[in-house]
Structure 1
Amino acid sequence: MEKDKEVISLKNIIIYYLDHWKLFVGAGAFSLVLAVLYLILYPKTYEIMSVVKIQDEKDLASGGGISMGDAAGLMRSFGLGGGTGGSINIDDEISTLKSNSLLSKTVVSLGLDVTYEKPFSLRTLYDDSPVIVIPDSTFRANLDRTFKFQLKIDHAGVAVAVADSGEKLTFSGLPVIWQTENGVLTICYRDSIHKELPVKLNVSIMPVSWVAEDLSEALSIEEYSKTSNTIELLYEDHNKLRGKDLLNTLLKQYNKQANLVKQKDGSKSQKFLDQRIDGVVVQLKDVERLIEVYKLKNKMTDVEYDVMFYTEAIKTYREKLIELEAQKYMVNLVEEYVKDPQNKYKLVPAAISSGAGESDKSSPVALYNQALVLREKTLMSSKGENPIAEVEEKQIEKLRESVIVSVENASKSLDVIMSDLKSQEKAIFDKMGNVPTYEREYLDMKRQQEILQGVYLVLLQKREEIALSAEGGRDKGFITDAAFVKHKPVAPRKLFAAIFVVFFTFGIPMGYLFIINRLKELLDELKRQKTCK
């Protein structure tokens, strides 16, 4: 019995809605018109894509280093093997690409802070605008709100109507130099040959940072995969050229900014290396002069052949001592640099901290440099005193002491090893009872010469690597795919239009009838209650 009542009730509802079929037909026709207008009037929007590989600093300055043997391993064991890591943090690079400063440079470069619209049009013009408006730097700096005006150009001249103030200006023709309260606006034809007349445009100029903020939200940057350094940039726009220009210019500005940072750091490192190289050259000249005087004094011509038998016996010890002396020199450079109070908050140059081996992110020098970088970022991002900066300075002081201890330990260990090798070398020399004293003295001077030559080559190579990275290296962002437009538009979407038609055709009438029915029941109930009273 209850089931029969439910069936009858459902039939009544269906019949009730069918009795109002005209309402459904009207709603369907109206929604269909709206959907067609949406599909026709809404600008066809495309997705523009670019793929870029973020290159490691090792890739940018690849050239290989001079291996210094077992002593290099000793340097690394004491945390002196490297000051800069080559790893890439993709999240940091994505943040840089979406930063307001980088996008602002892109906006200014392309003039995206100025939009042009024809009256009653949903499209914004770009390269197809017959006229361009160029704000000067003062105007962009002073602008703190959207500046809108209508521009009319015909044979009679140029008419400008400012939206907010209602101010109206006329000019005889283009180009126009318009002095506003914010700065100077230059209005001219995009193409000086084909001058279209008449022209009527609605022009809007927004603060550059606002446009950059909107672009940051509209721009999608995703990792290609978790194991690669490749990222994909996606942007949607109804103007294909504008979308391509945006991505290409953004990557160009990104590489330009990275190159400026490399050149700045490279200039400091080169200056430091030039000073050290000059010092080594002076020492090398002094040793060579001593050898020359010694040979002339003792009438020595070709000692290598004269003492070949004995030198072969001590060849192994000499090579190891040369390696260790070179490492000791590099350790002394690190110690001198770190202990200098003027360098307390300066990065330990990678040239001296990594000259003998590969990088080690967990080394005291690397941790010290990372702490300095964090402190610099904190100071740049804050105004006035910052408690975080004070905490970081205390941490830097502890890390600096750790670096000094590590350097001193490395120096002491090198001294112990060299002392042991010299003792073994002396034992060999003691067996050379018939070798004249001047020959052994000559070998000592020759060894000093080779040590300085090795240090000179290491420093020279580091300087060349830095110069290559700063000037002749590759861009940090290697563009795998320049910006291209995908063939399928992403808007307007027919599926959305169909969903809207279905919802509007059935949902709105049914909701309307339901509400009307409930209101009638409510009114009947109120009348019934009044009658009972």
Structure 2
Amino acid sequence: MESIRNDNETISLKKIIVNYISHWKLFVAAACFSVIPAVLYLVLYPKTYEIMAKMKIQEDKDLTSSGSMGLGEAAGLMKSFGFGGGSVAGIVLDDEIAMLSSNELLKKTAIRLGLNVTYERPFSFIQLYEDTPLRVIPDSVTQYNLKDGFEFKIKVNSDGSAKLKMKETGEIYSFASLPAQLKTSSGSFDIVCTETSKIQKPFTLNVVVSPAGWTAEDLQEIVQIEEFSKNANTLELSCTDYEKKRAVDLLNTLMEEYNKNTDAIKKDENLKMMKFLDGRVQSVMQDLNGIERTIEAYKISNKMTDMEYDVQFYTDAVKLFREKIIEMEAQGYLIDLLDDFVKDPENKYSIIPPMLSAGEGEKGGAVSSYNEALLEREKLIKSSTTDNPLSEIANNQVDKLRQGVVQSISNMKKSYQLVLEDLKSQEKKIMDKMGNVPTYEREYLDLKRQQEILQGVYLILLQKREEIALASGHGRDKGLILDSAYVKYIPIGPRKLYAAIFMVVFTILIPVGYLFGKEQICSLITEYKNSKHS
């Protein structure tokens, strides 16, 4: 059964193929007819080209970042405040792409090129650009306030007069000559001729005026902006158009408007920063003058010349004694810890930590002897029973040594206390000799420190202001144009391949569809007749 069904299917398929081949004239006719729309497509469809451009996004580096190297401490302050050092925020290409494709930037581009007004000759689907015989120019107010588009037909007669008819309302405007001004409810428009010597009159144009924002939306679909590579700060701009000059102007103007926009943003930020810095510089200068006058008055009232040399000897002596006092106080603290450890009942038979060096003479020897006796006691206890008389002797010996250690520690405390009091006494004598100099020094250093801080801030503000002034004046574009807009050599339309595919599809589908439909209709008619006879 399976083989019979396969044979039937094969026979049926052969029958269909033979049936189609028998109507070969129909296929030939379809092939001949398909040539007509294919040729019309190749002839009438305007040659469309791809236009490319490349632009590198440059970082906003500080031109004078190396200048902070000569400011010493001020350079360090600048880095800590986040002002200097040449640190630069990285470029986010997605943000730059968003700016390039923004409605506002494309709107400015459309207005500058006049792309929001299109011109077509009657029965033509090609929009004129450079070769348009006249232009309709909205005034600045209308350009930005136009909310709805409108269309009209204008006819310029041989004598130079013009007649304009609105498509929606049917309103008619007549002008004795051009240029002329068209005033409507939407706004005011200037109608001007372009190179009148080359215009062949009469002529008729269909003009469509659209809000620049609508045109910007269309341009967002037309202009493609992509990263050139993942490792480069370069963007690749492209678009397709049958009017090569219009596409070239579009990409070049878009890049120029991008640079203008980023430059305006940078200048606005720099202007605000300069205003802030100027105010701060004046304020710091006033504070600096005030502190310098205070220092001058302080020196005069206290009869001071150069305090640093006057007090250098006393300062060094006080520093030396203070170091020794701190050292003695630290040793006294260790002795107190040792005393507390020995007197604690819980540490009765615990080894004393070696807090004092072995070179401390008797004091170090007493502690060492006590620790050795404890070690011997531990060994004896571990190697004998608790009733061993030697254990009792060892305990007595340890107790006596502990008393010696306690007495030794007490002597150490008295000795260190005497030394500490002597050092403090000598320090007091030097301080008495200095009299009021420390007070003067403290007050003078406090004033001097305020002066140095203000000087550092003043240098920071001056350098930052100079950097901003240089950055505002050097005029470097953020977008470096690597390749101005250029037209690729090979057009992308009309495509001969598309025409060939259309011919093949038309040649096959139309005859097959016709024969299949005819067969189905005949089958239905036959069934209808049979059912009627029955």
Structure 2 length as normaliser, TM-score?
Answer: 0.67
Mapped to 1, the partners of 2:464 and 2:81 lie a distance apart of 17
CA distance 1:464–1:75, change in 2 (3 Å) = closer
> 1:173-229, CA deviations, whole angstroms, 9 ceiling, x for partnerless residues?
211222222222211122255443333222111222211111111111111223333
Is 1:106 the counterpart of 2:109? The answer is yes
1:225 aligned residue: 229
Residue 475 of structure 1 corresponds to: 477
Residues 143 and 13 (structure 1), Cα distance of their counterparts in 2 relative to 1, 3 Å cut: same
Give the equivalent residue in structure 2 for 1:492. 494
Alignment partner, residue 245 of structure 2: 241
Q: How is 1:437-456 mapped onto 2 (pairs within 5 angstroms)?
A: 448-456=450-458
Farther-moved stretch of structure 1 (149-158 vs 97-106): 149-158
CA deviation profile, 1:222-268 (whole Å, cap 9, x unmatched) = 11223333221111111111111111212222222222222222222
* 2:148 aligned residue (123, 133, 144): 144
Shift of 1:72: 7.4
Deviation at 1:144, TM superposition (A): 0.9
Task: Pick one of 252, 261, 268 that aligns with 1:264.
Answer: 268
Task: Mark the CA change 1:291 to 1:496 in structure 2 (over 3 Å): closer, same or farther.
Answer: same
| Structure 1 position 128 matched with structure 2 position 152 | no
Residues 116, 209 of structure 2: 8 Å contact kept: yes
Relative distance call for 1:196 and 1:476 in structure 2 (3 A) is same
Matches within 5 A, 1:507-526: 507-526=509-528
Shift of 1:527: 2.4
Distance 1:53 1:74, change over 3 A: closer
SS at match of 1:154: coil
Identify which of structures 1 and 2 has the higher relative contact order when contacts are C-alpha pairs closer than 8 Å and 6+ apart: 1
Pick closer, same or farther for the CA change 1:238–1:530 going to 2, 3 Å. Answer: same
Give the letter aligned to residue 248 of structure 2. K
Structure 1: distance between partners of 2:62 and 2:504: 57
How does 1:131-210 map onto structure 2 within 5 Å?
Answer: 131-140=134-143, 141-155=145-159, 157-210=161-214
The amino acid of 1:205's aligned partner reads: V
Amino acid at match of 2:474: G
Secondary structure of 1:119 counterpart: coil
* 1:135-162 CA-partner distances (Å, limit 9, x unpaired): 2234442441332323333236222232
Letter in 2 for 1:93: E
In structure 2, how many angstroms separate the alpha carbons of the residues matched to 1:94 and 1:111?
23
Matches of 2:483 and 2:258, distance apart in 1: 16
Q: Distance in 2 between matches of 1:258 and 1:69?
A: 29
Assess if the C-alpha contact under 8 Å between 1:113 and 1:208 holds in 2: yes
Q: Is the 8 A contact 1:151 1:203 kept in 2?
A: no
- The question of whether the paired residues in 1 share the 8 Å contact of 2:58 and 2:478 is answered with yes
For the structure 1 residues 303 and 128, does the alpha-carbon distance in structure 2 shift closer, same or farther, using more than 3 Å as the test?
A: farther
Describe the shift of the 1:124–1:5 C-alpha distance in structure 2 as closer, same or farther (beyond 3 A): same
Does the Cα contact within 8 Å between 1:42 and 1:122 map onto a contact in 2?
Answer: no
* Aligned-pair CA distance for 1:122: 2.7
Q: State the partner residue of 2:464.
A: 462
Structure 2: distance between partners of 1:517 and 1:281: 102
2:52 and 2:487 in contact (8 A); partners too: yes
On the 8 A contact 2:117/2:209 being kept in 1, the answer is yes
CA distance in structure 1 between the aligned counterparts of 2:160 and 2:294, rounded to whole angstroms = 90
1:174–1:187 Cα contact (<8 Å) kept: yes
Identify if the C-alpha distance between structure 1 residues 280 and 60 changes in structure 2 by more than 3 Å, giving closer, same or farther. closer
Paired letter, 1:267: L
Partner of 1:16: 19
Match of 1:251 among 238, 252, 255: 255
Q: Distance in 1 between matches of 2:147 and 2:81?
A: 56
3-state SS of 1:155 partner: coil
Check 1:60–1:523 CA distance in 2 against 1; reply closer, same or farther (3 A cut). Answer: farther
**2:136·2:189 contact (CA, 8 Å) conserved in 1?**
yes
* CA drift at 1:134: 1.0
Between stretches 226-235 and 238-247, larger displacement belongs to 226-235
Displacement, 1:299? 9.6
Q: Structure 1 residue 283: deviation in Å?
A: 2.6
Aligned partner of 1:220: which letter?
Q
Give the 3-state SS of the residue equivalent to 1:490 in structure 2.
coil
1:124 and 1:160, CA in 2 relative to 1: closer, same or farther beyond 3 A? same
Aligned mates of 2:296, 2:214 — CA distance in 1: 72
Aligned to 1:353: none
TM-score (norm 1): 0.67
Change over 3 Å in CA distance of 1:180–1:85 after alignment to 2: same
For 1:525, the aligned partner's letter is E
Matched AA of 2:102: S
Partner Cα distance (2:80, 2:182) in 1: 69
* CA shift for structure 1 position 125: 0.9
- Offset of 1:50 from its aligned partner? 1.6
Show CA shifts across 1:284-324 (max 9, x none). 233444566678899999999x79x99xx9xxxxxxxxxxx
Shift of 1:9: 2.5
**SS at structure 1 position matched to 2:164:** strand
Separation (CA, whole Å) in 2 of partners of 1:103 and 1:447: 56
Report the alpha carbon displacement of residue 34 of structure 1 after superposing the two structures with TM: 0.7
Aligned residues of 1:43 and 1:122 also touching (Cα < 8 A): no
Number of residue pairs matched? Answer: 411
Separation (CA, whole Å) in 1 of partners of 2:442 and 2:7: 121
Match of 1:505 among 504, 507, 510: 507
Note if contact 1:60-1:473 (Cα within 8 Å) is conserved in structure 2: no
Cα distance in structure 2, aligned partners of 1:113 and 1:511: 45
Query: Deviation of residue 13 (structure 1)?
Result: 1.7
Letter in 2 for 1:240: K
Select which of 271, 277, 280 maps to 2:281.
277
2:61/2:88 contact within 8 Å kept: no
The code of the aligned residue for 1:524 comes to T
Cα distance change of structure 1 residues 165 and 22 upon mapping to structure 2, 3 Å threshold: farther
Partner AA of 1:97 in structure 2: L
Q: Deviations over 1:4-41 (max 9, x none)?
A: 44443333222211222232222212221111111111
CA RMSD of aligned residues (A): 3.8
Unaligned runs of 5+ in 1: 314-428
In 2, Cα distance between the equivalents of 1:144 and 1:293? 75
Q: Which residue of 2 aligns with 1:527?
A: 529
Counterpart of 2:93 in structure 1 is 90
User: Per-residue CA shift, 1:426-453, capped at 9, x if unaligned?
Assistant: xxx99x989x888998777665544332
Give aligned-pair identity as a percent. 47
Structure 2 residue aligned with 1:384: none
Is the 8 Å Cα contact of residues 31 and 501 (structure 1) preserved in structure 2? Answer: yes
- 1:33 aligns with 36
**2:353 matched to which residue of 1?**
none
CA distance, structure 1, for counterparts of residue 204 and residue 528 of structure 2: 61
Q: Secondary structure at the match of 1:169?
A: strand
State the alpha-carbon separation in 2 of the partners of residues 20 and 150 from structure 1: 54
Cα distance in 1 between the residues matched to 2:34 and 2:463: 73
